[in-house]
Structure 1
Amino acid sequence: MKDMPNLEVIFLMHRALEHLRRRTVAEYWRTNQQDDLIAQLNQRQIGYLFTIHQHEPCTLLEVMHHSGLSKSAASTAVAKLVRLKMVTRVRNAADRREVMIRLQPELRGHIEAIDRQFRCNVAACLAGASAGELAGILAGAELLYQRVLENIHE
């Protein structure tokens, strides 16, 4: 791997986007804290909620796969979200051995509002780019996304 190009910019971009996501969540908390169910969660738990939202209904194994948690850690995280009435666990009607995890319906609006604001914040970061720069950024991002997906599904 000595011929590997310097990939640091990819990791810096990931860190910057993660920082922007955390800042978006913090801004949402400040403006909606009075009645916001999500305000009682830490950043990691919010990440688990987003993972469940993106893949729901999902199994504990899917939460493990998408979050990188061990089975024990994923089970503990989901159990905490169940206790907080953020998610529900329901037996899969097609396979009674399997438990499906879903967001509580009243949380969907909060999660979707945070996601919309995050997307607006990312778009604002790209607002100063020329059409050519934006096309290059998006083409590179799409190519990276496809390569990562190929390696995830191997």
Structure 2
Amino acid sequence: MAELIVHRASKLGILRSYAVLIDGQRRGRIRWRATERFVVPDGPVTVQARIDWAGSPVWHGHAGSEPTQVTISTGDPVLGTVFQDRMLVLHQDGHPLTAEQQHLVEQGNSAVRWFGVLLLASVLFFVALFISLTTHHPALVGLAALLYAVAVGVGLGVFIRSRLAASRDRPSVQA
């Protein structure tokens, strides 16, 4: 028997756990920044991480006498809503990412940053709205709405620009 170590570094869905499928069977769940150990038979092994309807592509590897370490990273949440295997990325520790994996990780990181900016803008808007309603200063509502619109516009601009840049840099798939 061999040991498979799965580490979750993904920033996506930090409050939720991912299902870990080994050789097509659900073998457990993994929380944010957690590491889980699984006993698997020696030889070829497949691993997949799932969250709701989406997840990662199936990772194909080999389990032997040394523990096999696999990391779950954030993939592309936008593509993940359309394609079921692009939300997360699995890669073996100590091995370089493929061009496709690197592309998905970069897209995931830009989406997480954009979501963080949008969340911060939303919090600031609601704080300004609450203050304006309690102090009866309607000008604060207009200012808060303007700041929110600017933050959303900047966030969308950064997100679209990063997607366009990544699509230009994306390696072509050769048959």
Q: Please give the TM-score of this superposition, normalised by the length of structure 1.
A: 0.29
Bigger relative contact order, structure 1 or 2, given CA contacts below 8 A and separation 6+?
1
* Bigger radius of gyration among the two: 2
* Structure number having the greater helix percentage: 1
* Structure number having the greater strand percentage: 2
Q: Please give the TM-score of this superposition, normalised by the length of structure 2.
A: 0.26
